A and B are shown apart, each in its own frame.
Chain A
Amino acid sequence: AQSVTQLDSQVPVFEEAPVELRCNYSSSVSVYLFWYVQYPNQGLQLLLKYLSGSTLVKGINGFEAEFNKSQTSFHLRKPSVHISDTAEYFCAVSVGQGGKLIFGQGTELSVKP
């Protein structure tokens, strides 16, 4: 069965520091990969997605992610974070027919001044 593992439940970081949020997936077939962000008491917003082509995907708010097929990973990165990036981040994979997504457990990013 397909699954998504986000390796860190919480990531504290200082403002203007770089950050990496890690995501690994398991699937025996080709996948499409997504990162979503959730601010407190709100729904999820799409940050970026990997469908095919270049393994480095750029998203909104200065985030990017790299698809690594051999390591079955899709880690999210930002070179310099802001206080406003404090939120929960979810990695998801689309498998099978239709568009159903499998979500990871989420990583809480906390940016401190």
Chain B
Amino acid sequence: DGGITQSPKYLFRKEGQNVTLSCEQNLNHDAMYWYRQDPGQGLRLIYYSQIVNDFQKGDIAEGYSVSREKKESFPLTVTSAQKNPTAFYLCASSKQYRDYGYTFGSGTRLTVV
């Protein structure tokens, strides 16, 4: 079955370390997105990519980086510059059509100690 796979589900890192979250989709979707979710703050867009080798900053891009070398993959790196990295991270993908909506991965919970 097609879908989005995020790995790992839980991730622990020491403060000051960079960490990369994986997101892979086999839906042949054009666009991919990364969101951060904190209690009571809904979904906040970090980065999105509408086509391979191109991506745009979202509302809270500082301290994060992404790449889109393949259509299927959109990894997110949480750098040491991100002041409060502990959060639940969600990856999503969609076709480039307004009526399509998003398909979400199951999320990665990052805890920095």
Task: List residues of A whose CB falls within 8 A of some B CB.
Answer: 9, 32, 34, 36, 41-46, 49, 51, 90, 92, 94-101, 103-106
Which residues of B73-113 have CB atoms within 8 Å of chain A's CB atoms? 88, 90, 92, 94-107, 109
Residue B50 is within 8 A (CB to CB) of chain A in the complex: yes
Chain B: interface residue total (CB-CB under 8 A): 27
Residue B41 is within 8 A (CB to CB) of chain A in the complex: yes
A–B complex contacts, Cβ < 8 Å, 13 sampled: A32-B101, A36-B102, A42-B107, A43-B6, A43-B106, A90-B43, A94-B98, A99-B31, A99-B98, A101-B94, A101-B102, A103-B42, A105-B41
Q: Would you call B96 and A43 a contact (CB within 8 A)? A: no
Contact with A along B54-69 (1 / 0, CB 8 A): 0000000000000000
* Selected contact of A43 from candidates B48, B98, B100, B107, CB within 8 Å: B107
Smallest beta-carbon distance B94→chain A, Å:
4
- Closest B residue to A105 by beta carbon equals B42
| Residues of chain A within 8 A of B101, CB atoms compared | 32, 34, 46, 49, 92, 94, 99, 101
| Residues of chain B within 8 A of A100, CB atoms compared | 31, 48
* Selected contact of B99 from candidates A43, A94, A96, CB within 8 Å: A94
Q: Would you call A32 and B105 a contact (CB within 8 A)? A: no
Residue B40 is within 8 A (CB to CB) of chain A in the complex: yes
Q: Would you call A32 and B42 a contact (CB within 8 A)? A: no
Smallest beta-carbon distance A100→chain B, Å:
7
Q: Would you call B31 and A9 a contact (CB within 8 A)? A: no
Given contacts A32-B99, A96-B98, 12 further A-B contacts (CB under 8 A): A9-B40, A41-B109, A44-B92, A46-B103, A49-B101, A94-B98, A94-B99, A98-B50, A99-B95, A99-B97, A100-B48, A105-B41
| Residues of chain B within 8 A of A96, CB atoms compared | 98
| Residues of chain A within 8 A of B98, CB atoms compared | 32, 94-99
| Residues of chain B within 8 A of A104, CB atoms compared | 42
Smallest beta-carbon distance A95→chain B, Å:
8
| Residues of chain A within 8 A of B99, CB atoms compared | 32, 49, 51, 94
